Every structure is written in C-alpha cells, then in structure tokens.
Amino acid sequence: MEITSNSCNKSKILIFGGTGYFGKHVVRASASFGHPTFVFVRPATPQMPPSSLQLRGEFRSLGVTLVQGELEEHEKMVSVLKQVDIVISVLPVSAIPDQIKIIDAIIAAGNIERFLPSEFGCEEDRITPLPPFEAFLEKKKKIRRLLEASTIPYTFVSANCYAAYFISLLLHPHDPRPDLVVYGTGEAKAVLNWEQDIAKYTIKVANDPRTRNRVVIYRPPGNIISQNELISSWEKKTGRRFEKVCVQEDELIKLSQIVIYAGLPSPDNIAVSILHSVFARGDLMSFDLDEDDLEASCLYPEIEYTTIDQLLDIFLVDPPEPARAALE
Ligand code: NAP
C-alpha cells in the first residue's frame, strides 16, 4: 500500500485512535496545521454507529488518509510507518498495553522521528493517587520506561483534564439541575484544558526539537481553577444559585476501596480515585514547575488557548453532550 500525499515538506503524522473522543481533535488539528495526516483505523463493521462513519467521511473531506488495519498486523503497520515521520497514539485506556505492538513496529520501521504514546492526563511520575487509579497509571508508566530504554525519540504529554469532559461532569450544563456535587472541600486547584487546544498543542509538541525525549505539561494560567471557583463563575454566568452536595475526601477513599472489593473492571474502577486525586487532593497542581520543566502555553505563546471563562461562555450557549458516563 502506497501512501500518496500532495502536501509540502511538513512532517507526515500517523495517528492511532484517531476516531476516538479525543483522537478526532488531534486528527483535525494535524490537518488544520497542514500536515499530511494518516489515521490507522480498524475496518468498518455493519455495527458501527452512523456517527463513526460520518467522522471517517469528515476526515476524508479534510484530505486525511485512512489506513485500515489492526494492531496485530505488524507488517502492515511497518509499511505504513515507513511512509510517515511522526506517530501519535490516542488509544483508550483499555488499549494502553497494546501500544507495545506499535513500539515494535516503530523499531522495525526505523525511521520514526517522534512517538507520542497515549498519555494525555496527569504527570504520572510526579503523583501517587489511590490504588485503582495508580494501577491504571502504572500501565502508562510501563510504556514510558520502555520508550526511555529504547532508541525511539519520544515525548510524554501531560495534558491534565479534558475541560469539556469534566465541565459536563461537574456542572451538567446540558442537563441543568438544582444541586452540584463537590468532591472534597472544593478548594483544591485543578487544570482544565479544552480538548481542541490540547490537540493543537500536541501537534506543536510532536514537531518541536525542544520537546524530544521530554515531558511537556499543559498548565496554561487561565485554566487553573478550583471546583468552588468554577461553580461560582457558572452561577454568575447563568444567574442561578446551585446547592453544593459535598462528598468529603474520606468518603471518596472508602468508595474507591469498595470498587476494588466489588471487582469492577477497568476503567469503571478508577473513576472515584480520579475524582479524589484531581479534585479532592489537587494532585495536578501539587508540584511546582521550575525552569527545567516544559509548559505548553510558555512554549507556544502563539496559540491562543481557550480560558475556562471563555469555555463557560461556550457552554452557556451551546453545551456539548457529555462524552460518556464513565465517571458518573
Ligand atoms: P476513546 O474515545 O475510547 O478512543 C477510542 C479510539 O481508539 C477509537 O479510535 C477506537 O477505534 C480506537 N481503539 C480502541 N480499541 C482499539 C484497539 N484494540 N485497537 C485499535 N484501535 C482501538 O479514547 P479516549 O477516551 O479519547 O482516550 C484517549 C486518551 O485520553 C487515553 O490515554 C485516556 O487515558 C486519555 N483521557 C484523558 C482524559 C483527561 O481528562 N485528561 C479523559 C479521558 C481520557 P474504533 O473507531 O475502531 O473503535
């Protein structure tokens, strides 16, 4: 299979998981920056929802090349990889260990200039959350250690929280209700970045010599906010008052233990411990950045990121449907 492209000398980017919740933003950002963009997709099935077929159609209309295949098809992956420069994986939680197959194919291809594995969350080497979330992070850390020990140039992206995902969960703008749940005291600071901005930063990071073999943290100042500040801002914008229903930190700890004993499968078993880590304990902001750290809004001041305040204005007019109910 020969990939043809009419594009210039921009790097060619191959994306795994590009049809997913976050992946589609990465595909759009890559195409919008003018990169010849390729998405490794599983073959379409009759059970596939119309929205997935529409998304594939949208990608084609953007000039994106869809390459059909499975992660098990090593030779096919190698032949595709030989025709691109950069690989970005946005595979879901369940497929994190499968990235070993991508790494094997990258080693066999031998030409990849940068690989970004599927991380896009907290800075996993700097926090220690409760066991269910910790076990999940261990899977991502294994991939980190594997890449560090390899000759593959990599970048690890700590994108912090997907803002639309968590604003939907915390404020229910699409489904207004009189009360809102607050995890912990509501005072701990979190970082909520809009998915579209995370995607743009990610394409920049993937092409940047400064980020080779480094961790990049996405912590724009306008996106650092506590739950209490978020609710108060939302109250001002909507002109409504919400009753706060507090779930204290010790209750979250107990609940996270219950889900372990109940034997809930991944990723359902990590929801409580994520809420505990991010919102009750404030893990995302629990460490300071020093001059050795790479922060996205400092690296790319030319990207006008969307602040939480601007994002709430968008939610006020046209709240997106929540991504899924995994953390409900
Ligand atoms: P998702 O929506 O579940 O994405 C699924 C994508 O992966 C789809 O393109 C799907 O392809 C593909 N896929 C699934 N299993 C596959 C397999 N076995 N082989 C090949 N392709 C497969 O994922 P997501 O929720 O966007 O997660 C992506 C990353 O974001 C993960 O690292 C996750 O931990 C992270 N995340 C971060 C936050 C945050 O707030 N920071 C929140 C959620 C997730 P098909 O179209 O073929 O099904």
118: Cβ contacts below 8 Å, ≥ 6 apart: 16, 17, 89, 90, 91, 92, 95, 96, 99, 140
Say how far residue 134 (Cα) sits from the centre of its chain: 17
Helix (H, G, I), strand (E, B) or coil at 44: coil
Distance 226 CA to ligand 1 centre (A): 27
Cα 91 to middle of ligand 1, angstroms = 4
- Token pair of 302 as six digits: 């030319």
Q: What CA–CA distance (Å, rounded) separates 230 from 232?
A: 5
Which residue CA neighbors atom 35 of ligand 1 most closely? Answer: 120
Measured CA to CA, the distance from residue 125 to residue 136 in angstroms comes to 13
Task: Say yes or no: CB of residue 93 within 6 Å of ligand 1.
Answer: yes
Report the catalytic residues.
140
Give the single-character DSSP code of 154. Answer: B
* Residue-by-residue pLDDT tens, the chain, 328 positions: 444 444 568 999 999 999 999 999 999 999 999 999 999 999 989 899 999 999 999 999 999 999 999 999 999 999 999 999 999 999 998 999 999 999 999 999 999 999 999 999 999 999 999 988 999 899 999 999 999 999 999 999 999 999 999 999 999 999 889 999 999 999 999 999 999 999 999 999 999 999 999 999 999 999 999 999 999 999 999 999 999 999 999 999 998 888 776 666 666 678 999 999 999 999 999 999 999 999 999 999 999 999 999 999 999 999 887 775 445 4
Ligand 1: residue of 16, 21, 136, 266 to mutate (most ligand atoms within 8 A of CB) is 21
Distance 286 CA to ligand 1 centre (A): 27
Instruction: Find out whether 171 and 234 touch, Cβ atoms under 8 Å.
Output: yes
Instruction: Mark out the alpha helices in 62-148 (DSSP H runs).
Output: 74-81, 99-109, 131-148
| Of 282, 162, 301, 174, nearest in space to 229 by CA | 282
Which numbered atom of ligand 1 lies nearest the CA of 121? Answer: 41
Residue whose CA is at the smallest distance from ligand 1 atom 47: 42
Q: Is 162 in the pocket of ligand 1 (CB under 6 A)?
A: yes
Ligand 1 mutation target, pool 14, 51, 59, 91, most atoms within 8 A of CB: 91
Residue 265 Cα, ligand 1 centroid: separation in angstroms? Answer: 16
DSSP secondary structure, 214-264, as one string: EEEE---GGGEEEHHHHHHHHHHHHT---EEEEE-HHHHHHHHHHHHHTTP
Cβ–ligand 1 distance for 118 under 6 Å, the answer yes
Determine the pLDDT at residue 229.
Answer: 98
Q: How far is the CA of 61 from the centre of ligand 1 (A)?
A: 22
Ligand 1 nearest-atom number relative to CA 326: 43
